[in-house]
Structure 1
Amino acid sequence: MNKRLVGLAEQALFASTIFVLFLLLVNDRFVVPLWLQPLGRMHPLLLHFPIVILLLAMVMEAFRFRTATASNPGLAEFYRDFLSNLLLVGALSAGVTVIMGLFLAKEDGYSGQVLQWHKWSGVGIFFVASLVYWARKKTWYTARLAWAGALTTVLFLIGAGHYGATLTHGDNFLFQPISSQFKPTPVSFDKALVYADVIQPIFEQKCVSCHNPDKLKGQLNLSSVEAMLKGGKSGKLFVAGKPDVSLLLERIHLPLDEKKHMPPSGKSQLTPQEITLLALWVKENADVRKRVIDLPPTDSLRFMAAGLFKPAEPVDEFSFDAADEETVKGLNNDYRTVAPLAKELPALAVNLYNKATFTSEKIAELSPIKQQIVYLNLNKLPVKDTDLKRIGEFENLQKLDLNFTDVTGAGFADLIPLKQLQTLSLAGTGITYDALRKQLGAFKKLKTVAVWNTALTTAQVEQLQKANKGIHFIAGFDGTSSETIKLNPPQLKNGSTIFTQTVSLQLKHPIKGVQIRYTMDGTEPDSLNSPVFTGQTVLDQPTLVKAKAYKTGWFGSSVATFDFYKSNYKPDSVQLLLPLNPVHQADGAHTFFDGRLGTFNANSPAWANNWAGFRKNDMALVSEFKTPVRVSSVALRVMVEEETGIFPPGIVEVWGGDNRDQLKLLGTLKPDQPIKKATPVLKAVVCTIKPQTVSVLKIIAKPVNQLPEWHANKGKPGLLLVDEVFIN
């Protein structure tokens, strides 16, 4: 390498050293701009280059003094020059790699103890390699120092490589193939817990490598129940009972090439069966203590989970052979799961989903495994009477779920070949008394028939029970003779709770004959004094509506709360004067007037464009109107979640005037701040002003400068999240 090139490289090495020191000193205060983030993401691409060069260089450095006394002076000089250039290239490339790594570590999702070990071992490689390069030219540099420098660099290389592998592949990556051979004895079905033995193993296999105390990607830790329930930076992991709006399922169902898809592209992906298990668990309120055996006998989660455990007691001997593994694998897809009923048994449980894509062919496709199917779940699918003939071919079927399908009983005779049938669920169908009366006697092993929510009367069910003493009929709740249960809350029919002038309040309830009572003064509705909802209520002001459902023979529902927001004016142009928080960019200034309200999942895919965030900068929003408007209030809808440091603004200022250069302060507001252990809320903070006619409004909302002393992040700035602005 010529001297000029060496000189330039040495200057670059010195500059890299200074820059790395600077980045380490200001680590908590600098933000990587978007245009530099691709450079940081080149870190994994480049890091192997300095590793190989420095390993070779340090081995050569350790034997440098031996070659210096070699009998061939020309060879010794070549060795010395080649090694010097190799060390220079290795140290410089290590510096560039460290800079890229420091940039990458500033992105969301990188935190934890492992990251710190990886960072400092990488920095150690760079500094030691640089020190060796500069020191080796000094007269005091000895063979012992050469050995020490080489050994230290190699140790740092091993450490950085180990922690880097842990970051990308998870803990115990090196010895996982060996340790996997020593798995604990699986629990029996009767002792298995839904979360600990069904759900947590999925997290362990597919999620914990990135979401653990040492690598808190997205501030989410899935290694324990307590941490899992806490959620992460994007909010709670799930909404109990609502898989369709849960962050966990939203991220899983994103396209594989989507940045927020989980697990990330390149990682081991969830199987259709695992996805279904997670969805069913969330749907059943995500209980972390319930046993699998405590789930109802016809429960889909129970049947799917049962295949993961050894039987609690001896099970039926099956005379048929197991189905071909490749055939079973090929039948698993986005609308169907096929899984063993229990380990080492040939019997299979089949669940079909997605009403929109269902056709009769989906049942016909199961013909290759018709002998092995013992459980078939077609719940809520448009199954017709003509489809029963196909189902009748599954000769070993023991449990059949036809709840809320379109069967009427016209093809009921086609099920007679099912000689092993023990459980038949027909709830919510058009099944008739005559169809059951004529055919039930043909099913000799039938033990349970579910007919709740059908047209069968109590008297007809009693007649069927009398004629079929070996069968238990599940007729459900009739509201009078059954045990009293609680109504679910009323629901809102309005497409949006934001209105301009007036809006008609629209409430509904899925159960017929329910009376809905409501209030608009903040008090809780009761069954005597609160007004009955008749569909005639019109709102003309921002209103908090509370509603409860009542019906004779039932307990009243919980209170349902609905916030209605009035927004008279939408600006003709809007502009943010200061940058948004990098994590919560939303749709920029247009976010505040798009009519879409956010939820507590501030980063979930379904609501990703709804929250604009401010931490280091104030919210400074300028709104302009082509035609002057008369303004008396400005409201900001904000999230308040004390635990995660999301606070309302410390102060709100409203400025107005005829143009940008002649604005005056119209009003200020200091919203109430949360106290310790405050309940998270989504609310509007309203700044009322003396009515003014303006063409320009400037709204300033300042994030809380320092979180209070009692907060876990005391002294740090709070995060302000705003999703909508209402001008009236």
Structure 2
Amino acid sequence: MKIRFSILGAQLLLVLDIFIVFLLLFEGKLHIPAWLQSIGRVHPLLLHFPIVILIMAMLLEFFRFRKDIASNAFYKKLTYYLLLSGTLLAGITVFMGLILSHEEGYAGDTLQWHKWTGVAIFFIASIIYFVRNSSWYRSAFAKAGAVVTVLVIVVSGHFGAAITHGDNFISQPLAVYYPEPQVPFEQAVVFNDVIKPVLVKKCAGCHNPDKLKGELILTDSASIMKGGKSGKLFNHEAPELSLLLQRIHLPENEKKHMPPAGRPQLTDIEAMLLTRWIQSNKIYFSGKVAELPERDSLRMVAATVLQPPGNVAEVYDFDAADEKAVAKLNTDYRTILPLAKESPALAVNLYNGDVYSVKQLQELDGIKKQVVSLDLNKLPVSDADLKSISQFENLRHLYLNFTDITTTGLKELLPLQHLQSLAVSGTKINYKDLIAVLPGFKNLKTIAVWNTPLSGAEIKQLQTANKHIQFIEGFVDDGSDKLKLNPPHVENASMVFAQSSPVLLSHPVKGVEIRYTLDGTEPDNIKSPVFSSAVTVKENTVVKAKAYKTGWFASDVVNFSFLKSTIKPDSLRLLYKLNSVHQAEGANTFFDTRLGVIGANNPAWANNWAGVKHSDMGLVALFNKPVTVSSLGLHYMVEEETGILPPGTVQVWGGADEQHLKLLTTFNKAPLPAKKEKPTIRIMQSSWKPVTVSCLKIIATPHEKDKKLLLVDEMMLN
């Protein structure tokens, strides 16, 4: 049995070797069908198995000739099986990788290095398998082969990670410990020093010469201007409609949202930088930030990420802190790093609001002289904590964005006579207290106040009274460069309910106010109520919603149908054939709680619609036990331009079985759409005196059987 398995394994491996060689020789002539592409996409899933198995096999092979284990039968058998299975899996993985590499978006030197190192792993492991029982194969060969194989596995894995996650995937976390030096404001180039770092950090992992997702490269200006498969990134006539802006402002769960869900997302500042860069209506690739007009919104936002104007290397009059003491103070939620190489100054960053307490600041008492930068952004820092912060006597830079501090608490910071920059964006600071406290900060050069209660007029007054301080306010909302908000979207898993349902609306842009109506009227930002989680519906309801935010154009109105359906048939049968395009789930479509969307004449959107064009729409519903019914509703689509019309009439028949049915109701209340009326989704329903039945027959007749479509996605039976 053992001999048979060895022979079979060797034969399989030999066949796989020949097959891989054949693929490599004729790779340029390969045509990959769709079904084979799916097999290729298993490559990233499968590759981890041969990696682990081969590393284990090579570790065992390395020590194979040691005297104490050379005669161990179990050791020999385990090494053999691991090497054979790992090599076979490596060959299958190489085959899948070669198939995957022919898909759109894979190209460049990194791919070639990954491909050939992967192929090398397979052939090196194959050679070791075939020669390991030769008389000349001794310890030196075993060790050399094992070391080479593992090294090539590491190299191939590195290139694979670079293809999937970008060139800096492994080194990127080290940026926390070795951050790139900030570029001084006066020297910064708009693209190279402000925009490109964002694209490299959040986008270039998938859009680079080695990984051409969507045929788009975002690593150089020429490629950015060229665009990709979906078109150019910029719309010079209507910048707010630029493709790049559309993609980054889509909800994160949308397929086309960028960066994709699961990848690091753009921060608010990064998204604002890209937005202001594109909205400037000039794509700046060579101009400097300082050359932009003083009140230019891009200049103001860029100032928040650049080294403050006039900032030069500073000489400190204190000694460096003890390295061991600093090392002990570093935790998972607090990093303490030198501000620059060989500098005694320290920068402290605190993370994770769930574990924050003022004790984390008080524990730094032993290095308080060396701390010159303190980042507490997005932590629940209160006014009471500012007294502890005031103990850092040499503090130059303090970041309190989106914390709980108020202007009153800032008085506690007046002892910080070296403070040069202060960031209090997203806090509750107010003009009255701020104008009183600012003169006390003698060396303050910049203060970030965007997204605070301060108005533009108040910031101007503060600037006039404190000429030595630059106020960073984000951008001036003069209405000249607004973006249009996306409509709100619904979070309910299903909008069909039995008794009642909460209405769950959301919007991806922070600070958006959602206004809604339940009575069919259009929502506005004056009379319509502001959406909250307390909204509940108990009957068939069309929720109309619209998004508003200062500095943005309001979104379009969006309609969401919430449908009450308390009775579900036990079995369903169609009486007539459905239109070939709109089959959906057949008879089950009408009670599957899945609602369709506008655009049903496009086959990609037709999945949830059942439709007829040349006949009635007929349905028989059976119940295992008699039920009492008193109303029926239809949820249907109207699109005048493409000939999708409401039902002409609807008849509902009921009885004990199909042979004993009586007409329960006939209704035809659905109005026809006006010429060029926008597509809509509607509800029509009728009620009657309660009747107990075991069988229902529902017949919906189109307005015009010969030409027009009737589309229904759900029926509501109560």
TM-score (norm 2): 0.49
